[in-house]
Protein backbone atom coordinates (compact mmCIF):
# COMPACT_ATOMS: atom_id res chain seq x y z
CA UNK A 1 0.00 0.00 0.00
CA UNK A 2 1.22 3.48 -0.86
CA UNK A 3 1.20 6.26 1.66
CA UNK A 4 1.78 9.78 0.56
CA UNK A 5 3.79 11.31 3.34
CA UNK A 6 4.05 15.02 3.14
CA UNK A 7 7.13 15.68 5.19
CA UNK A 8 6.60 19.41 4.98
CA UNK A 9 3.47 19.00 7.04
CA UNK A 10 5.65 18.34 10.03
CA UNK A 11 7.52 21.58 9.50
CA UNK A 12 5.71 24.82 9.95
CA UNK A 13 8.41 27.15 8.80
CA UNK A 14 11.06 26.87 6.10
CA UNK A 15 14.22 28.92 6.68
CA UNK A 16 16.80 29.24 3.93
CA UNK A 17 20.28 30.25 5.08
CA UNK A 18 22.60 31.52 2.39
CA UNK A 19 26.31 31.74 3.23
CA UNK A 20 27.60 34.25 0.67
CA UNK A 21 30.27 33.35 -1.91
CA UNK A 22 32.21 30.05 -1.88
CA UNK A 23 34.47 27.95 -4.07
CA UNK A 24 36.43 30.04 -6.56
CA UNK A 25 34.58 33.14 -5.36
CA UNK A 26 36.29 34.12 -2.08
CA UNK A 27 34.19 37.26 -1.56
CA UNK A 28 36.10 40.05 0.13
CA UNK A 29 39.63 39.09 1.07
CA UNK A 30 41.28 40.26 4.29
CA UNK A 31 44.79 39.98 5.63
CA UNK A 32 44.29 36.64 7.33
CA UNK A 33 41.01 35.29 5.98
CA UNK A 34 38.43 35.19 3.22
CA UNK A 35 34.85 36.32 3.43
CA UNK A 36 33.45 33.00 2.15
CA UNK A 37 34.84 31.12 5.17
CA UNK A 38 33.58 33.61 7.76
CA UNK A 39 30.13 33.59 6.16
CA UNK A 40 29.98 29.81 6.13
CA UNK A 41 31.05 29.41 9.76
CA UNK A 42 28.51 31.90 11.07
CA UNK A 43 25.74 30.62 8.79
CA UNK A 44 26.27 27.00 9.85
CA UNK A 45 26.43 27.90 13.53
CA UNK A 46 23.19 29.85 13.18
CA UNK A 47 21.53 26.98 11.32
CA UNK A 48 22.63 24.46 13.93
CA UNK A 49 21.03 26.51 16.69
CA UNK A 50 17.76 26.52 14.78
CA UNK A 51 17.97 22.80 13.98
CA UNK A 52 18.69 21.97 17.58
CA UNK A 53 16.03 24.13 19.18
CA UNK A 54 13.23 24.57 16.67
CA UNK A 55 11.84 21.19 15.59
CA UNK A 56 9.11 22.94 13.65
CA UNK A 57 11.57 24.73 11.38
CA UNK A 58 13.06 23.18 8.29
CA UNK A 59 16.51 24.63 7.61
CA UNK A 60 17.79 24.66 4.05
CA UNK A 61 21.31 25.85 3.21
CA UNK A 62 22.21 27.16 -0.22
CA UNK A 63 25.64 25.74 0.53
CA UNK A 64 27.05 23.97 3.57
CA UNK A 65 30.61 23.65 2.35
CA UNK A 66 33.16 25.55 0.31
CA UNK A 67 31.51 25.41 -3.08
CA UNK A 68 30.54 27.96 -5.72
CA UNK A 69 26.80 28.54 -6.12
CA UNK A 70 25.58 31.00 -8.77
CA UNK A 71 23.57 33.90 -7.40
CA UNK A 72 20.41 33.02 -9.31
CA UNK A 73 20.64 29.46 -8.05
CA UNK A 74 20.63 30.65 -4.44
CA UNK A 75 17.30 32.42 -4.89
CA UNK A 76 15.98 29.44 -6.84
CA UNK A 77 16.79 27.12 -3.92
CA UNK A 78 14.77 29.38 -1.64
CA UNK A 79 11.87 29.66 -4.07
CA UNK A 80 11.76 25.92 -4.70
CA UNK A 81 11.80 25.23 -0.97
CA UNK A 82 8.86 27.64 -0.62
CA UNK A 83 10.86 29.33 2.06
CA UNK A 84 9.22 31.59 4.60
CA UNK A 85 12.43 33.46 5.13
CA UNK A 86 15.76 33.94 3.37
CA UNK A 87 18.84 35.09 5.27
CA UNK A 88 22.02 35.76 3.34
CA UNK A 89 25.22 36.04 5.38
CA UNK A 90 28.10 38.25 4.21
CA UNK A 91 31.09 40.16 5.47
CA UNK A 92 31.72 43.76 4.51
CA UNK A 93 34.85 45.39 3.11
CA UNK A 94 35.78 48.88 2.14
CA UNK A 95 38.80 50.26 0.33
CA UNK A 96 41.14 52.68 2.02
CA UNK A 97 39.71 52.50 5.53
CA UNK A 98 41.16 50.20 8.13
CA UNK A 99 39.19 51.44 11.12
CA UNK A 100 35.52 51.33 10.12
CA UNK A 101 33.65 48.78 12.23
CA UNK A 102 30.23 47.33 12.78
CA UNK A 103 27.47 45.11 11.51
CA UNK A 104 24.63 46.08 9.20
CA UNK A 105 21.57 44.38 7.78
CA UNK A 106 20.18 45.04 4.34
CA UNK A 107 16.87 44.64 2.60
CA UNK A 108 15.93 45.03 -1.00
CA UNK A 109 15.42 48.55 -2.24
CA UNK A 110 16.94 51.41 -4.10
CA UNK A 111 20.21 52.64 -2.70
CA UNK A 112 19.88 56.32 -1.90
CA UNK A 113 23.51 56.95 -1.21
CA UNK A 114 26.75 56.14 -2.95
CA UNK A 115 28.05 54.12 -0.01
CA UNK A 116 25.00 51.86 -0.04
CA UNK A 117 25.29 51.41 -3.77
CA UNK A 118 28.93 50.37 -3.32
CA UNK A 119 27.89 47.51 -1.02
CA UNK A 120 25.34 46.26 -3.54
CA UNK A 121 27.88 46.58 -6.38
CA UNK A 122 30.43 44.55 -4.48
CA UNK A 123 27.98 41.81 -3.54
CA UNK A 124 26.36 41.67 -6.98
CA UNK A 125 29.72 41.49 -8.74
CA UNK A 126 29.86 37.80 -7.87
CA UNK A 127 27.83 37.16 -11.02
CA UNK A 128 31.00 37.91 -12.97
CA UNK A 129 32.26 34.53 -11.78
CA UNK A 130 29.53 32.95 -13.90
CA UNK A 131 30.36 32.49 -17.59
CA UNK A 132 26.87 33.17 -18.87
CA UNK A 133 26.06 36.05 -16.57
CA UNK A 134 25.13 38.39 -19.44
CA UNK A 135 22.27 36.19 -20.59
CA UNK A 136 21.34 34.95 -17.17
CA UNK A 137 21.06 38.36 -15.57
CA UNK A 138 19.62 40.11 -18.63
CA UNK A 139 22.58 42.35 -19.31
CA UNK A 140 22.87 43.51 -15.71
CA UNK A 141 26.26 45.12 -15.14
CA UNK A 142 26.98 45.00 -11.41
CA UNK A 143 29.41 47.91 -11.61
CA UNK A 144 27.24 50.26 -13.64
CA UNK A 145 24.99 52.56 -11.62
CA UNK A 146 22.53 52.62 -14.50
CA UNK A 147 21.89 48.93 -14.12
CA UNK A 148 20.43 49.64 -10.72
CA UNK A 149 17.42 51.36 -12.24
CA UNK A 150 15.71 47.96 -12.18
CA UNK A 151 15.47 48.31 -8.42
CA UNK A 152 13.61 51.58 -8.66
CA UNK A 153 10.24 50.12 -9.53
CA UNK A 154 10.28 47.24 -7.11
CA UNK A 155 7.04 46.77 -5.28
CA UNK A 156 8.33 44.52 -2.60
CA UNK A 157 5.38 43.00 -0.79
CA UNK A 158 7.78 41.55 1.76
CA UNK A 159 9.44 44.84 2.53
CA UNK A 160 7.77 45.37 5.88
CA UNK A 161 8.64 41.93 7.21
CA UNK A 162 12.16 42.12 5.84
CA UNK A 163 12.79 45.47 7.49
CA UNK A 164 11.28 44.23 10.72
CA UNK A 165 13.66 41.25 10.82
CA UNK A 166 16.59 43.44 9.82
CA UNK A 167 15.88 45.76 12.74
CA UNK A 168 15.69 42.88 15.21
CA UNK A 169 18.96 41.44 13.91
CA UNK A 170 20.65 44.80 14.37
CA UNK A 171 19.25 45.06 17.88
CA UNK A 172 20.76 41.67 18.74
CA UNK A 173 24.11 42.41 17.11
CA UNK A 174 24.31 45.45 19.34
CA UNK A 175 22.94 44.07 22.60
CA UNK A 176 24.07 40.44 22.47
CA UNK A 177 27.28 40.57 20.45
CA UNK A 178 28.21 44.11 21.43
CA UNK A 179 28.87 45.13 17.84
CA UNK A 180 28.69 48.65 16.52
CA UNK A 181 25.24 49.10 15.03
CA UNK A 182 25.55 50.36 11.47
CA UNK A 183 21.80 50.12 10.97
CA UNK A 184 19.31 48.81 8.47
CA UNK A 185 19.74 49.82 4.84
CA UNK A 186 18.23 49.24 1.46
CA UNK A 187 20.10 48.51 -1.72
CA UNK A 188 19.71 46.61 -4.97
CA UNK A 189 20.85 43.09 -4.21
CA UNK A 190 20.17 40.66 -7.03
CA UNK A 191 19.93 37.70 -4.68
CA UNK A 192 17.21 39.39 -2.63
CA UNK A 193 15.36 40.56 -5.72
CA UNK A 194 15.03 37.03 -7.05
CA UNK A 195 13.77 35.47 -3.83
CA UNK A 196 10.01 35.56 -3.37
CA UNK A 197 9.77 35.84 0.40
CA UNK A 198 10.91 38.15 3.18
CA UNK A 199 14.66 38.31 2.87
CA UNK A 200 17.62 40.07 4.39
CA UNK A 201 21.33 40.25 3.78
CA UNK A 202 23.57 40.52 6.80
CA UNK A 203 27.02 42.13 6.72
CA UNK A 204 28.70 40.76 9.84
CA UNK A 205 31.55 43.22 10.01
CA UNK A 206 34.51 44.56 8.05
CA UNK A 207 37.11 42.09 6.91
CA UNK A 208 39.15 45.08 5.74
CA UNK A 209 39.53 46.36 9.30
CA UNK A 210 42.27 44.30 11.03
CA UNK A 211 40.72 44.41 14.50
CA UNK A 212 37.36 43.33 13.19
CA UNK A 213 38.80 40.67 10.90
CA UNK A 214 40.46 39.17 13.93
CA UNK A 215 37.16 39.08 15.82
CA UNK A 216 35.35 37.56 12.83
CA UNK A 217 37.84 34.71 12.88
CA UNK A 218 37.50 33.83 16.56
CA UNK A 219 35.22 31.21 18.08
CA UNK A 220 33.72 33.95 20.21
CA UNK A 221 32.94 36.02 17.11
CA UNK A 222 31.27 33.09 15.39
CA UNK A 223 29.29 32.23 18.50
CA UNK A 224 28.17 35.77 19.25
CA UNK A 225 27.21 36.67 15.72
CA UNK A 226 25.38 33.41 14.98
CA UNK A 227 23.52 33.56 18.30
CA UNK A 228 22.49 37.14 17.60
CA UNK A 229 20.94 36.12 14.29
CA UNK A 230 19.33 33.11 15.97
CA UNK A 231 17.78 35.21 18.73
CA UNK A 232 16.47 37.65 16.15
CA UNK A 233 15.06 34.77 14.14
CA UNK A 234 13.15 33.48 17.18
CA UNK A 235 11.70 36.89 17.79
CA UNK A 236 10.72 37.30 14.15
CA UNK A 237 9.12 33.87 14.00
CA UNK A 238 7.06 34.50 17.11
CA UNK A 239 5.62 37.61 15.48
CA UNK A 240 5.10 35.75 12.25
CA UNK A 241 3.13 33.03 14.03
CA UNK A 242 0.80 35.49 15.65
CA UNK A 243 0.24 37.29 12.36
CA UNK A 244 -0.30 34.13 10.40
CA UNK A 245 -2.49 32.55 13.04
CA UNK A 246 -0.53 29.41 12.79
CA UNK A 247 2.43 27.55 14.10
CA UNK A 248 2.95 24.74 16.50
CA UNK A 249 3.80 27.31 19.06
CA UNK A 250 6.63 29.47 20.08
CA UNK A 251 9.81 28.98 18.13
CA UNK A 252 11.54 27.82 21.24
CA UNK A 253 9.02 25.06 21.81
CA UNK A 254 10.72 21.78 21.96
CA UNK A 255 7.95 19.46 20.93
CA UNK A 256 9.17 15.94 21.05
CA UNK A 257 7.90 12.66 22.33
CA UNK A 258 9.59 13.03 25.65
CA UNK A 259 8.91 16.64 26.25
CA UNK A 260 5.36 16.80 24.97
CA UNK A 261 2.98 17.69 27.67
CA UNK A 262 0.10 15.76 29.06
CA UNK A 263 -3.35 16.54 27.86
CA UNK A 264 -5.30 16.45 31.06
CA UNK A 265 -8.89 16.44 32.08
CA UNK A 266 -11.95 16.27 29.95
CA UNK A 267 -13.47 19.15 31.77
CA UNK A 268 -12.92 22.22 29.68
CA UNK A 269 -13.53 24.57 32.56
CA UNK A 270 -10.87 22.99 34.70
CA UNK A 271 -8.57 23.25 31.74
CA UNK A 272 -9.35 26.88 31.35
CA UNK A 273 -8.49 27.49 34.96
CA UNK A 274 -5.23 25.68 34.59
CA UNK A 275 -4.40 27.36 31.34
CA UNK A 276 -2.84 30.23 33.19
CA UNK A 277 -0.14 27.93 34.39
CA UNK A 278 0.96 27.62 30.77
CA UNK A 279 0.47 23.89 30.53
CA UNK A 280 -0.79 22.23 27.41
CA UNK A 281 -4.45 21.61 27.65
CA UNK A 282 -7.18 20.51 25.33
CA UNK A 283 -10.87 20.72 25.29
CA UNK A 284 -11.18 17.17 24.11
CA UNK A 285 -9.73 14.07 25.58
CA UNK A 286 -7.45 12.26 23.18
CA UNK A 287 -6.59 9.11 24.99
CA UNK A 288 -6.35 6.81 22.04
CA UNK A 289 -3.36 4.50 22.21
CA UNK A 290 -2.76 4.80 18.50
CA UNK A 291 -1.93 8.21 17.07
CA UNK A 292 -4.69 10.64 16.25
CA UNK A 293 -4.02 13.17 13.51
CA UNK A 294 -5.54 16.58 13.03
CA UNK A 295 -4.99 19.71 10.98
CA UNK A 296 -3.94 22.75 12.95
CA UNK A 297 -5.44 25.76 11.24
CA UNK A 298 -4.77 28.73 13.43
CA UNK A 299 -3.37 30.05 16.66
CA UNK A 300 -4.74 32.82 18.80
CA UNK A 301 -3.59 34.51 21.96
CA UNK A 302 -7.24 34.97 22.92
CA UNK A 303 -9.86 32.27 23.13
CA UNK A 304 -12.13 32.49 20.10
CA UNK A 305 -15.89 31.99 20.42
CA UNK A 306 -17.25 28.86 18.77
CA UNK A 307 -18.33 29.64 15.25
CA UNK A 308 -15.87 32.56 15.09
CA UNK A 309 -15.54 34.07 11.63
CA UNK A 310 -11.83 33.25 11.89
CA UNK A 311 -12.75 29.58 11.42
CA UNK A 312 -14.03 30.52 7.95
CA UNK A 313 -17.03 28.26 8.18
CA UNK A 314 -15.01 25.21 9.26
CA UNK A 315 -17.29 23.19 11.53
CA UNK A 316 -15.36 20.64 13.59
CA UNK A 317 -12.91 23.08 15.18
CA UNK A 318 -11.40 22.23 18.56
CA UNK A 319 -8.40 23.59 20.38
CA UNK A 320 -5.58 22.88 22.76
CA UNK A 321 -3.71 25.41 24.85
CA UNK A 322 0.05 25.64 24.83
CA UNK A 323 2.50 28.32 25.91
CA UNK A 324 -0.13 30.99 26.22
CA UNK A 325 -1.73 30.29 22.89
CA UNK A 326 -4.97 28.67 21.82
CA UNK A 327 -4.23 26.34 18.94
CA UNK A 328 -7.18 25.42 16.80
CA UNK A 329 -7.45 22.25 14.80
CA UNK A 330 -10.03 20.24 12.90
CA UNK A 331 -10.48 17.05 10.86
CA UNK A 332 -9.39 14.77 13.70
CA UNK A 333 -8.93 11.17 12.61
CA UNK A 334 -6.81 8.10 13.19
CA UNK A 335 -6.57 7.82 9.41
CA UNK A 336 -3.49 9.76 8.39
CA UNK A 337 -4.35 9.65 4.69
CA UNK A 338 -7.69 11.29 5.40
CA UNK A 339 -6.08 14.05 7.43
CA UNK A 340 -3.38 14.47 4.79
CA UNK A 341 -6.06 15.07 2.15
CA UNK A 342 -7.91 17.45 4.41
CA UNK A 343 -4.81 19.50 5.04
CA UNK A 344 -4.34 20.01 1.32
CA UNK A 345 -7.93 21.22 1.00
CA UNK A 346 -7.63 23.46 4.03
CA UNK A 347 -4.36 25.01 2.91
CA UNK A 348 -6.23 27.23 0.47
CA UNK A 349 -8.33 28.69 3.28
CA UNK A 350 -5.74 28.54 6.04
CA UNK A 351 -2.34 29.32 4.68
CA UNK A 352 0.20 27.17 6.42
CA UNK A 353 -2.28 24.66 7.85
CA UNK A 354 -0.29 21.69 9.02
CA UNK A 355 -0.75 18.26 10.56
CA UNK A 356 -0.24 17.53 14.23
CA UNK A 357 -0.55 14.27 16.13
CA UNK A 358 -1.59 13.22 19.62
CA UNK A 359 -1.16 9.90 21.32
CA UNK A 360 -2.26 8.81 24.78
CA UNK A 361 -3.32 12.36 25.40
CA UNK A 362 0.07 13.84 24.53
CA UNK A 363 1.20 15.79 21.55
CA UNK A 364 3.77 13.68 19.71
CA UNK A 365 6.17 14.18 16.85
CA UNK A 366 4.10 13.92 13.70
CA UNK A 367 6.74 11.97 11.78
CA UNK A 368 6.88 9.34 14.52
CA UNK A 369 3.10 9.14 14.49
CA UNK A 370 3.10 8.66 10.73
CA UNK A 371 5.66 5.88 11.06
CA UNK A 372 3.51 4.16 13.61
CA UNK A 373 0.44 4.59 11.47
CA UNK A 374 2.20 3.04 8.50
CA UNK A 375 3.37 0.08 10.58
CA UNK A 376 -0.06 -0.76 11.91
CA UNK A 377 -1.54 -0.51 8.41
CA UNK A 378 0.94 -2.94 6.96
ZN1 LIG B 1 29.66 39.14 0.26
| pLDDT (tens digit per residue) in 58-76 | 999 999 999 999 999 999 9
Closest CA to 167 of 116, 121, 202: 202
Same domain, 223 and 169: yes
Same domain, 190 and 338: no
Least confident of 268-272, 280-284, 289-293: 268-272
Q: What is the mean pLDDT of residues 341-357?
A: 83
Same domain, 208 and 299: no
Dihedral of alpha carbons 164, 140, 81, 157, sign: positive
Same domain, 283 and 216: no
Cα 20 to middle of ligand 1, angstroms = 5
Q: Is the pLDDT of residue 84 over 90?
A: yes
Q: Is the pLDDT of residue 246 over 60?
A: no
Cα 231 to middle of ligand 1, angstroms = 22
Same domain, 188 and 88: yes
Flag whether 13 is in a domain: yes
Cα 329 to middle of ligand 1, angstroms = 43
Flag whether 282 is in a domain: yes
Same domain, 342 and 236: no
Question: Under 8 Å CB-to-CB from 314, ≥6 apart: which residues?
Answer: 297, 330, 346, 349
Same domain, 69 and 217: yes
170-182 pLDDT per residue, tens: 999 999 999 999 9
Same domain, 22 and 139: yes
Torsion angle, alpha carbons of 246, 249, 252, 254, to 10: -130
Cα 153 to middle of ligand 1, angstroms = 24
Flag whether 349 is in a domain: yes
Flag whether 63 is in a domain: yes
Cα 157 to middle of ligand 1, angstroms = 25
- Could you tell me the pLDDT band of residue 299, with boundaries at 50, 70 and 90? confident
Same domain, 140 and 219: yes
Q: What is the mean pLDDT of residues 295-303?
A: 82
Q: What is the pLDDT of residue 153?
A: 64
Residue 231 is part of a domain; what is its CATH number?
Answer: 3.40.630.40
Domain boundary among 244, 259, 291: 244
Domain boundary among 244, 278, 296: 244
Flag whether 59 is in a domain: yes
- Rounded CA separation 142/137 (Å): 10
Same domain, 56 and 157: yes
- Rounded CA separation 84/138 (Å): 27
Cα 58 to middle of ligand 1, angstroms = 24
Q: Is the pLDDT of residue 360 over 60?
A: yes
Question: Under 8 Å CB-to-CB from 162, ≥6 apart: which residues?
Answer: 107, 108, 156, 192, 198, 199, 200
Cα 236 to middle of ligand 1, angstroms = 24
Flag whether 323 is in a domain: yes
Q: Is the pLDDT of residue 269 over 60?
A: no
Same domain, 282 and 324: yes
Cα 36 to middle of ligand 1, angstroms = 7
- Could you tell me the pLDDT band of residue 87, with boundaries at 50, 70 and 90? very high
- Rounded CA separation 119/142 (Å): 11
SS3 261: coil
22-59 pLDDT per residue, tens: 999 999 999 999 999 999 999 999 999 999 999 999 99
Cα 310 to middle of ligand 1, angstroms = 43
User: What domain range is 155 assigned to?
Assistant: 7-244
Flag whether 356 is in a domain: yes
Same domain, 116 and 222: yes
**Total domain count for the chain?**
2
Amino acid sequence: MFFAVDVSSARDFVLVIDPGHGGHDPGAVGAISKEKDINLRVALAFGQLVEKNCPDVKVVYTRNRDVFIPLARRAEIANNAKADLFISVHTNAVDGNKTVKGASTWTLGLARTGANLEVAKRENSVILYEDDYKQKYAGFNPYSSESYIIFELIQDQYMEQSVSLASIIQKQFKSYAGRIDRGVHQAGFLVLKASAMPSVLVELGFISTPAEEKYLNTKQGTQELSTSIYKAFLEYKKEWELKNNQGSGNASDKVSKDKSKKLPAENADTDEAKSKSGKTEVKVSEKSESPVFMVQILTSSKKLPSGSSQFKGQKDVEYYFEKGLYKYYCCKSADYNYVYKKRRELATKFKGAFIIAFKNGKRVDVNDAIDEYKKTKR
